[in-house]
Structure 1
Amino acid sequence: MSEENAQPEQAAEKTKKAEKAAGKEAKKEEPQGPAYTGYDADFFVTPQDLLNAVGKLDQAGFFLEDVSCVDMQEGFQMVYHFDRFDQPGRVGIRVMISKENPEVPSIYDIYPGAAWHERECFDFFGVRFKGHPNLLPLLLAPDHDGPPPLLKEESALKDLHQIYPDRAHSPVSADSQEFIQAITNCSNKPSRDQS
């Protein structure tokens, strides 16, 4: 090894030894998120029960991660993901709505950060969010008069059983024991700071 190459290695080794002596060993970053924690609850709810479900998540300390829309054979699937800063785990809420009347309640009053997510779904899929305070185009030109740009061709649409072959697709009530228990399980996990 040349003297030129040895100097950076020796300096790095000295730094490690000095940090170790000072008790400042580099902490390993622990993996986070539902893939690591193993807790990821996912539910279908009806449009009428969406605000009830979202309200329960808000009361339990969850924050809104995202809102998205999927064009499917059965209609549009609205997907909402919620997480917590202090606990590992994630809860997903899915709502099926028809393409003939693509409307779902806005969650803006519970999570104001949903405003832009909902406007994006309005732009790209034509989904209307009842109660949204400013449902105007976000990315498309205000005079856009064509079809929503992310609608799929009929031949590209998949049905629920193709996408989720091993799970139930029936909506659960936000007041059901199953839903309440999932929120409780996620809320009672040890915090990231305690582990």
Structure 2
Amino acid sequence: MTFQELADQLGAFSLSLTASDYAASGVYADLLLEQRQLRQVVQHLLEQEFYLVFATAVSLKPAACLVYQFARHDVLFRVNLRLFAHENESPTISDIFHAAMWYEREIHDFFGIAFTGNGDMRPLILSEMDAGFHPLLKAENVCMDAEKLGFLPLADEPEAGDEQARGSLEDA
């Protein structure tokens, strides 16, 4: 698989797909998504025989950024997916990649992000007594702006029923 092949396959999904310098970053491609695109893109990666390497989050302004890394066994090719957890919520991918269940629980413990559709959001590392305590969630005044990392958060994602707004994004 090459970057161009992936770009051709995912072109309809992405807002921003950029090639990365593998020697510097450890990945060949970075993809910035909207939350509503996550499950489709992840399902596509599964069909293309990618596996989930890890998932994590980073406290940023205006919203925490989720980072998923995928790779393939047959060729050296790694992809980072990034999306913003607006209102501390994101769709689950644990029904597509079952190992994501553990990562989502850990992210919930440390950052307070809820994964809709994940039926098991029990604390993984923290105890029940730590409810509401998210040790890696930074106060907004100490979070770095997402712009400083070279990408902008999607400010106004269309609502699920907003067909006109969705159509205009997909046509872009």
State the aligned residue count.
137
Residue in 2 aligned with 1:46? 34
Between the aligned partners of 2:132 and 2:100, the Cα distance in structure 1 is 25
Q: After the TM superposition, which residues 48-127 of structure 1 pair with which residues of structure 2 at under 5 Å, given as runs?
A: 48-98=36-86, 101-127=87-113
Work out the percentage of aligned pairs sharing the same amino acid.
33
Give a deviation string over 1:29-75, Cα, whole Å, max 9, x none.
xxxxx438x86111111111100010010000100001101111110
Between the aligned partners of 1:70 and 1:149, the Cα distance in structure 2 is 12
Say whether residues 1:130 and 2:130 are aligned partners. Answer: no
Contact 2:56 2:103 (C-alpha < 8 Å) held by counterparts: yes
**SS at the partner of 1:148?**
coil
Root-mean-square deviation over aligned CA pairs = 2.6
TM-score by length of 2: 0.71
Q: Any stretches of 5+ residues in structure 2 without a counterpart? A: 1-21, 156-165
**SS at the partner of 2:144?**
coil
Contact 1:39 1:88 (C-alpha < 8 Å) held by counterparts: no
Residue in 1 aligned with 2:143? 157
Between the aligned partners of 2:154 and 2:31, the Cα distance in structure 1 is 9
Q: Any stretches of 5+ residues in structure 1 without a counterpart? A: 1-33, 177-195
Say whether residues 1:145 and 2:131 are aligned partners. Answer: yes
Larger radius of gyration: 1
- RCO greater where, 1 or 2, for CA within 8 Å and sep 6 or more? 1
Between the aligned partners of 1:80 and 1:39, the Cα distance in structure 2 is 11
TM-score by length of 1: 0.63
Contact 1:43 1:92 (C-alpha < 8 Å) held by counterparts: yes
